[in-house]
Structures are given as C-alpha cells and as structure tokens.
Amino acid sequence: MPSSRSGSIFHVALLAVAACGAPGPGDAVAPGQASGPPPVAVTPVTTAAPVAPRSANQALAVSRAAARPGSAGPIEVAVTVDDLPAHGPVPAGVTRLAIHQEFLKVFRAHAVPQVYGFLNAAKLAEHPEDRAALEAWVAAGHPLGNHTYSHPHLEQIGLDAYLGEIDRNEPLLRALMGKADERTWKVFRYPFLKEGHDLPSRNAIRAHLAGHGYRIAQVTIDFADWAWNEPYTRCMERRDEEAIKVLERAFVNYGRASLQWSDATARQTYGRPIKHVLLLHVGAFDARAMDRLLTAYEKEGVRWVSLDEALSDPVYATDTGFTATWGQSMLEQMTEAHAAPHPPYIPLPTGFLRVLCRPEYSGAVPGASAP
C-alpha cells in the first residue's frame, strides 16, 4: 500500500521543488554568468506565419501564443526521442513495446508530426523481442534515426571505433525503414550530446557524417528528462502514488522552465525566435508524464513541427565549434563557445531525484512512515 507521508518534512521539501519554476537546461551546471561579445549574427530575423491548428490542443497553443506579451507567434518545437528501443529501468510488468505505444498514443492525441526515434541497434542483441517496439514506431508513421550502434562515449572508444559505431547501426535502420529514402533515416543524434572532445575529433565526426549523407539532429531543449526514470521505478516498487505525483509535477515544471530558458536564450543569442528541437528519452516515466508535458508546452504557446521543418532553420547550418568531454545542447554550446550572455542556469534538482523513494532516506525523515 502507498505510505502516508503528506504531512512530513520530506514531502513539504519535495513539493517546494515540484512547485519551483526553475529556468535552466539539463544537468549541466554552467560556469558563472558569462559576458563577452554580442550575440552571433546568423541570419536575418524571420517571423513564422501562424499555421492552421491540427487539433484542439494546437488551437489552444496558437491562441495562447497570440496572447503572450512580447511574443511574435507560437514557439515552434520538434519532438525527438532517444535510445530506442530501451532506455532506463522499467517497473515490473511493463514492456518496452507498451512504453513505445504510450508515446505513440500521446503523439497522436497532440497531433505531433514526424517524431524521430533515435536507435541503438545493439539493444536488440539482448532483447530481440523489442524489435516489435521499433516496428510499431515506424508503423505509426514516425521515422527512425541513427544514435550509434551501442551508445558509446567517444573518449572511451576512440575516434575510429566511434565512426564504426555510426556505420554499424545502419543495417537495422535500413531494414526497419523499408522503402523510405535513405535520406529519411540518415539523421544523426550524438550520444550524450557529445560532439567531440577536441576540434580534430569534432571535425572528423562531422566530416564522416557529411560524407555519408547525414543531417545532424541538434538539440535546443534538454531538461534531463532521463533522470526521472530511475526514481519513478523506485517509487513504483514501493507503490508510492503520492511520491509519483510529486515527481510528475516536478517533471512538468522543470520541462516548462527549460522551454522558457531555451526560448529566451535563442532570442538573446540569435536576435529572433528559432525553431526548437526537444530531446526526450523512451523511458517508462517519460511515457507516463508525456501527455502532461505536451499539454503544458501547448499552454506556453508551443506549436509542434516536424524535425525536417525545425532543421530548415538556418541556425542549424552553423557549427558552434564547441569542444568538451561533456555533452551540451546547441544553445548551451553557443553561449559557452561565444561567451554570450544568457538567462541564468538553474541546475537540475539532482538531490530530490536521488533520494526520492529510497527506503534509507525516508526512514530517517521525521513524520515519514515506511511502506
């Protein structure tokens, strides 16, 4: 049975986190506020014309956007999902296929077009049954893209092996995408968003991708959605529905704040709104919270676009030239590489995510009762 902990200090603290509208990207805590040269001029300002809404939620998004002070129109966002067909731990009794089907159901309900699922073929070696999840994705009309064969760290395997990982993922992509033009699935998402630990490795990967006809699926909205899946599985094991609700609120609030951060940073960096790319992962908690997240984004004025449409924005034709052993979204790379001013980062609530539903923690909290 769920534990009753609503009056505990523990939950008061968690609710404070859940209610916090913290602007900021991912789990990377950036160095101090940067100052330096003015924003990098990339292209002339363009304003996207409103497009006829495809659903009631889209209509709400467009009308809210029109009402937002200072907003020239909806925030255009392409949804992308990484690590197909398996990401993170899964609560007992939940299949990978069911997780994918939940994603697909929510995308249909929100009329989200062309959601790329970025694939690691190695995952089928241990779980060939998960091929059904990939087939369901394609059957629903969404494409797959390349996320390397086994999701390696570049600095651990070296450049040559890394390039081989890109090629080794292709046979399964080709098989699953059937008659689709190669160009459809030759879209690459960097594992961990790491594009190169130095300029030679960064340039070599880019040259390999370009030489093989790939487009790069950059990311501009990354709120470390993956980090919610582990605590969710713990809470499911404990059947702590109350904690899961807290987790859901925190997820939506942090995701919303990251959207706001990315929209503001893009306007500051490029002098205009850009077409965004949202990074998600195919985890069990993501599936559970996806409908709430997309609804929250629509209330912020988001209009869903395809990745093809997002990548048509000229900002994606530029190379930030950023190198590091850690991964960052394109907007974070831009602000770091050019020391450009941006709204302050707010770090991921890692402490909350680390301790939630851990028996050793709840046992030490006044007022908390163990399940």
Nearer to Zn ion, 82 or 313 (CB): 82
Residues forming contacts to Zn ion in the complex (CB under 5 A) are 82-83, 191
Nearer to Zn ion, 117 or 349 (CB): 117
For the CB of residue 285, give the shortest distance to Zn ion in the complex, in Å. Answer: 16
For the CB of residue 83, give the shortest distance to Zn ion in the complex, in Å. Answer: 4
Phi, psi dihedrals of residue 233, rounded to the nearest 5°: -65, -40
Q: Are 31 and 347 in contact (CB under 8 A)?
A: no
Instruction: Report d(CA 223, CA 5) in Å as an integer.
Output: 28
**DSSP E strand boundaries for 164-247:** 187-188, 215-216
Name the 3-class secondary structure at 48: coil
Nearer to Zn ion, 189 or 249 (CB): 189
For the CB of residue 193, give the shortest distance to Zn ion in the complex, in Å. Answer: 8
Q: For residue 38, which of 339, 333, 321 has the smallest C-alpha distance?
A: 339
At 252, list the tokens. Answer: 């939506």
Which residue has the CB atom at the shortest distance from Zn ion? 82
Tell me how crowded residue 277 is: count the other CB atoms within 10 A of its CB.
27
Nearer to Zn ion, 82 or 130 (CB): 82
| Contacts (Cβ under 8 Å, ≥6 apart) of 362 | 3, 5, 10, 368, 370
Nearer to Zn ion, 120 or 265 (CB): 120
For the CB of residue 88, give the shortest distance to Zn ion in the complex, in Å. Answer: 11
Alpha-carbon distances of 363 from 66, 162, 354, rounded to whole Å: 49, 45, 15
For the CB of residue 82, give the shortest distance to Zn ion in the complex, in Å. Answer: 4
For the CB of residue 201, give the shortest distance to Zn ion in the complex, in Å. Answer: 18
Nearer to Zn ion, 244 or 279 (CB): 279
CA angle 82/248/265 to nearest 5° reads 60
